[in-house]
Amino acid sequence: MATDRDVPAVVRSRRELIGRGVEFPAPGRAEAALPITSNGTTYEMAQQLTWLDREHFVVGRWDGSMSVFRFTDTSVAGPLINEAVASPAFQGVRMLGALPGLAFASSNDDRSIALWVAGKGGWSDLRAAGTYGYDPALGVATGAIGTQQNLVVGHTTGHLSIWKYTRHERRLRFVRAVDVRNPQPVNPWGLHDIHSIGVVSDSAGKARVVAGSEDGYLSVVEAPSGVILSQTVFNSQAQRGINSLSVAGNKLLVANCSVGPQDHNLWYYAIDTGTWQITLLDKANLIVDTQRPQAFNFATTWGAYAGGPCWFASTEEGALWMGTASATLDTIGYQAVTSPLGSTLGYASGPGRLVMVAYDLYEYSTGA
């Protein structure tokens, strides 16, 4: 039976608001009740995007497919597919985590993750390197980040699993699980999915990461020890949880879905690396049509352009937003790009390259 997790979060959010009587803009012609029965929908849009190196990135989609692309620095040709594979369990790809030494991990089913490694031919020689099981009570993997020696994975249940990654053997070993659930989730469905994790510091075999959850918690956790250094509700008035986050130094961006004209969907924080406390610096609502009852920010990432450091965000209106941040958030503007269900983003430096993927894939050189 279909559940709230079987549809894109932006659709789930709309349905909940409609159920509360909130009106969305009506189409030009009224809908009709057709004499047919719906048997479900397959969403082919991207769920995850992770850069693997300066030239290659991998995209995971709702239909269980994964594709490794090579960025092309030309305006007359699109990105080139290096390799296409499928999740061993043939389920939607909800997690991707790049690892050192031409490898990455992906979600598989509710009790395992998959490891992928490149052969002597590079990413065009991509091979499955096995699946790694864990307690099914943790749930499906929904987000991850690779560090120098570890893989930190977020799960549907609001737990993190920490794995030791041995680069020369190209093997994973489960270390521990950490419960980072908010006992009072900000969303109306009681969801705890951890969609996004970023590295704050990583040295001497010890990493500190920040994880963002559907339940509203920002959790700073040490790996591999699993010690919880701080936990903060990103917005005490939030009606929706965290979709994406991005870390640059001690600065943190958080993307969510704003509900109503007083809410915001991009949040800007500072992380105190002495106490690991998180302090709000500014917030913004990235929305084109201010009459919309919700403005879903699907993804955000730090980046850089010719003018210096910047940020990017993609919203459900099919818009790519760009701005800068110092003491406050400053918005440069937006460009209408793609479909209204939102897109995932990925930025790589040296040189500056931005990728935006929904159904189609768009590449940008940022001039940095």
Per-residue pLDDT of the chain (368 residues; tens, 9 = 90+): 345 556 777 778 878 888 888 777 655 555 566 665 555 555 568 889 999 999 999 999 988 899 999 998 765 445 566 667 787 877 889 999 999 999 999 999 999 999 999 998 899 899 999 999 999 999 999 999 999 999 999 999 999 999 999 999 999 999 999 999 999 999 999 999 999 999 999 998 899 999 999 999 999 999 999 999 999 999 999 999 999 999 999 999 999 999 999 999 999 999 999 999 999 999 999 999 999 999 999 999 999 999 999 999 999 999 999 999 999 999 999 999 987 777 999 999 999 999 999 888 999 999 99
Residue 53 maps to which CATH number?
2.130.10.10
Judge whether 294 lies within some domain. no
Residue 344 has a pLDDT of 94
Q: What residues make up the domain containing 168?
A: 44-233
- Residue 165: left if φ>0, alpha if ψ -120 to 50, beta else—which one? beta
Q: For residues 205 and 198, is the Cβ–Cβ distance under 8 A?
A: no
* Residue 37 to residues 27, 52, 72, 113, 168, Cα–Cα distance (Å): 22, 42, 44, 35, 53
Judge whether 48 lies within some domain. yes
Closest CA to 324 of 303, 346, 295: 303
Judge whether 339 lies within some domain. no
Q: In whole angstroms, give the CA distance from residue 239 to residue 263.
A: 9
Judge whether 115 lies within some domain. yes
Does the predicted model carry a pTM greater than 0.75? Answer: yes
Radius of gyration over every alpha carbon of the chain, rounded to an integer in angstroms: 20
Closest CA to 350 of 49, 51, 48: 51
Judge whether 228 lies within some domain. yes
Judge whether 327 lies within some domain. no
Q: How many residues are present in the chain?
A: 368
Do strands 141-146 and 150-155 pair parallel, antiparallel, or not at all (unpaired)?
Answer: antiparallel
The total domain count for the chain is 1
Judge whether 156 lies within some domain. yes
Q: For residues 226 and 204, is the Cβ–Cβ distance under 8 A?
A: no
Q: In whole angstroms, give the CA distance from residue 260 to residue 152.
A: 34
